[in-house]
């Protein structure tokens, strides 16, 4: 009898131990399932301009939203688009030109969030050269980062606005963020970005004249874009990501100094905290416009995209219409708090 009782007690203990193990495994499995993978393909390596993302990572906001966030680096907006098309990422952080060019190739995409509603491209010349209008470039050497960069595309927009084409100037690929040819007077002007100009000024560029592309065509600089398939299949996932992104932008706008410190641990160019702060302030200014103050961050102005498509068709950046208005949607932005 005692032997049977002892045997039953041992079996009971074994069952309790087994049950505890199963419950533990179940809890672990449940915890693992709580975080859903979200891969964001970027046009670049992690850089200071994207500090709000690093703020969200540092503060654990992605995890709180049930997201296992992964930054997928790239070398240009075209790379980011290729990554979502290939299934290597869920969402792309890319320039509008890359999106339109992919659409022209027949890709089914959706633009779902306006990251930078202001066009940050410009044309920079030394003040002593007295380049005060696009017409002054006629017959001159003009630098661009590369022939596959946004600087080149936006230079074409400026030329078009003045009734000119690239054949009226000599385009010189100068390298990414390279103001050397301008400083050495190998080119009379160079197409650049606001943050590129900031860095050049810190390096002794001197007094300059700046022609802003946004005064001609205010193309949003970067947007979040997904494939139509992901838009239909992972709507909730995308809304959660965009909510974190929106919240992180607001926090970074209000706390640029803290964001500058956080960027030092995440960004490949984040070693100088003062530079971080300056770059963050520049990018903060392009993260929201008057319309967004009324309708909320991320809002997409369909009319602007129509103007961009029409202009790109006229200057040859697009060879055929892509009906961009059909793929620009504020559906997800409207769901954000």
Between 32 and 221, residue with greater pLDDT: 221
Short-list 216, 211, 252, CA closest to 53: 252
pLDDT at 12 over 90: no
- pLDDT per residue as tens digits for the range 168-210: 999 999 877 789 999 999 999 999 999 999 999 999 999 999 9
55 DSSP β-pair partners: none
Rounded CA separation 114/330 (Å): 9
Give the residue from 44, 55, 29 showing the smallest Cα distance to 260.
Answer: 55
Would you place residue 11 in the very low, low, confident or very high pLDDT band (cuts 50, 70, 90)?
Answer: low
Query: pTM for the complete prediction?
Result: 0.85
Q: Which two tokens stand for residue 112?
A: 């779902």
Given this model, what pLDDT does residue 26 score? 41
Share of the chain above pLDDT 90, in %: 83
Q: Determine how β-strand 189-193 pairs with β-strand 121-126.
A: antiparallel
Q: For 22-64, how does the pLDDT look when each residue is reduced to its tens digit (9 = 90+)?
A: 445 444 433 455 899 999 999 999 999 999 999 999 999 999 9
Look at residues 22, 39, 19 and name the one whose alpha carbon lies nearest to residue 30.
22
The alpha carbon of 158 is separated from its chain's Cα centroid by a whole number of angstroms, namely: 23
Residues 270-281 have pLDDT tens digits of 999 999 999 999
């Amino acid at each position: 009898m005692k032997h049977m009782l002892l045997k039953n007690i041992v079996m009971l203990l074994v069952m309790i131990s087994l049950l505890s193990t199963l419950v533990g495994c179940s809890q672990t499995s449940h915890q693992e399932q709580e975080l859903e993978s979200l891969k964001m393909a970027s046009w670049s390596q992690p850089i200071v301009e994207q500090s709000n993302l690093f703020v969200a990572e540092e503060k654990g906001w992605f995890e709180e939203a049930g997201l296992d966030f992964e930054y997928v680096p790239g070398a240009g907006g075209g790379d980011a688009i290729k990554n979502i098309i290939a299934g290597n990422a869920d969402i792309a952080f890319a320039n509008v030109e890359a999106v339109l060019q992919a659409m022209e190739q027949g890709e089914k995409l959706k633009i779902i969030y306006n990251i930078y509603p202001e066009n940050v491209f410009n044309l920079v010349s030394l003040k002593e050269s007295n380049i005060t209008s696009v017409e002054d470039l006629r017959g001159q050497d003009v630098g661009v980062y590369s022939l596959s960069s946004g600087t080149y595309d936006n230079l074409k927009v400026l030329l078009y606005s003045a009734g000119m084409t690239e054949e009226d100037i000599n385009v010189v690929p100068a390298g990414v963020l390279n103001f050397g040819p301008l400083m050495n007077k190998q080119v009379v002007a160079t197409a650049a970005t606001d943050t590129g100009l900031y860095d050049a000024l810190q390096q002794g560029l001197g007094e300059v004249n700046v022609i802003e592309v946004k005064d001609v065509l205010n193309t949003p600089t970067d947007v979040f874009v997904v494939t139509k398939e992901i838009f239909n299949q992972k709507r909730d996932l995308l809304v959660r990501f965009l909510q974190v992104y929106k919240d992180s932008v607001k926090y970074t706008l209000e706390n640029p100094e803290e964001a500058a410190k956080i960027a030092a641990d995440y960004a490949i160019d984040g070693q100088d905290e003062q530079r971080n702060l300056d770059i963050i302030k520049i990018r903060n200014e392009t993260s929201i416009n008057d319309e967004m103050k009324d309708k909320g961050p991320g809002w997409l102005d369909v009319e602007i995209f129509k103007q961009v498509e029409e202009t790109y068709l006229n200057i040859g950046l697009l060879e055929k219409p892509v009906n961009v208005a059909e793929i620009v949607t504020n559906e997800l932005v409207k769901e954000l708090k």
